[in-house]
Amino acid sequence: MDKLIVDKLNLYYGANHALRDIGMAIPAREVTALIGPSGCGKSTFLRTLNRMNDLVEGCRIEGKVTLDGEDIYAEETDVSVLRKRVGMVFQKPTPFAMSVYDNIAFGPRTHGIRARVKLDAIIEKSLRDAAIWDEIKDRLNENALSLSGGQQQRMCIARALAVSPEVLLMDEPTSALDPISTSRIEDLVAELKKEYTIVIVTHNMQQAARISDRTAFFFLGEMIEYDATEKIFSLPDDKRTENYITGRFG
């Protein structure tokens, strides 16, 4: 079943036509990887899926994006609810300057959960799901800024999970991390896809090949090719995809 359907999506940053006629169906409970050279629009595309581009001044969007059949750009869409359903993990960890506990509780509190018992349970579950519970269960009251980079990133994943999203958008979540933290997060993604639909941007071809079910190749604002990951990495249809994958450019 397709969770997200993108149809004839065009995005402009002022005069810069950053996304051109993107059409794509993202299946539920699978990992979809977005690859392509820097500046080709991967992050921009990802941010159209939870409307984070709304913040960018001069950004104009045409086309349609639906989540479970509902148009997310429709007038009556509640962006707050949309972002609760479509969570996001950024390239750099974005810990808030407060305790680990309050970081994770931020989302649930935003959506009206106040009871301590309930919050405790959510926090434990999210940290377990993000495979970081055992490491930091005794440090919940410490400032999140004191965690290591890899821990911060997994805490941010836990924070995103704490609002029980359906889709998780990840923008190069491991590009700022060491190899060990990276492989932890890759394992985590494999685990998470049982429950969540995951869209992940990555610069790392091996990573895309390892963790994704489907891969989309972006180039200069266009989506050149989108298919099963195996297919993309063994028999791409388009010459540009092949060149990119074999490292001939980008």
Ligand X SMILES: Nc1ncnc2c1ncn2[C@@H]1O[C@H](COP(=O)(O)OP(=O)(O)O)[C@@H](O)[C@H]1O
Write 4-7 long-range contacts (CB < 8 A, 24+): 4/49, 4/65, 4/66, 4/67, 4/167, 4/197, 4/199, 5/64, 5/65, 5/66, 5/69, 6/48, 6/49, 6/63, 6/64, 6/65, 7/63, 7/64, 7/65, 7/66
Q: Which does 12 bind (CB under 5 to 8 A by kind): other proteins, Mg ion, ligand X, none?
A: none
In whole angstroms, give the CA distance from residue 28 to residue 3: 5
202 is a contact residue toward Mg ion (CB under 5 A): no
118 is a contact residue toward other proteins (CB under 8 A): no
CB 153 within 8 A of CB 136: no
Q: Which does 246 bind (CB under 5 to 8 A by kind): other proteins, ligand X, Mg ion, none?
A: none
Residues 147-176 that bind ligand X (CB under 6 A): none
Q: CB-wise, 1 or 97, nearer to other proteins?
A: 97
43 is a contact residue toward Mg ion (CB under 5 A): yes
12 is a contact residue toward other proteins (CB under 8 A): no
Residues 43-102 that bind other proteins (CB under 8 A): 50, 52, 55, 79-84, 87-88, 90, 92-94, 96-98
Phi then psi for residue 18, to 5 deg, are -85, -30
Cβ neighbours around 73 below 10 Å, total = 17
Strand order in the sheet with 16-27: 70-71, 59-67, 2-13, 16-27, 222-228, 214-219, 31-35, 197-201, 167-171, 86-89
Q: CB-wise, 36 or 173, nearer to ligand X?
A: 36
Name the CA dihedral angle for 24, 206, 191, 236, rounded to a multiple of 10 degrees.
30
146 is a contact residue toward other proteins (CB under 8 A): yes
Shortest Å distance, C-beta 240 to other proteins? 28
Q: Which does 38 bind (CB under 5 to 8 A by kind): other proteins, ligand X, Mg ion, none?
A: ligand X
Q: CB-wise, 142 or 238, nearer to other proteins?
A: 142
Strands 86-89 and 167-171: parallel
How many residues belong to the site for other proteins (CB under 8 A)? Answer: 30
- Selected from 74, 145, 228, 235, the binder of other proteins by CB under 8 A is 145
The DSSP 8-state label assigned to residue 93 in this structure reads -
43 is a contact residue toward ligand X (CB under 6 A): yes
Residues that bind ligand X (CB under 6 A): 13, 16, 18, 36, 38-44, 56
- Give the interface with other proteins as residue ranges (CB under 8 A): 50, 52, 55, 79-84, 87-88, 90, 92-94, 96-98, 106-107, 110-111, 143, 145-146, 156, 159-160, 163, 176
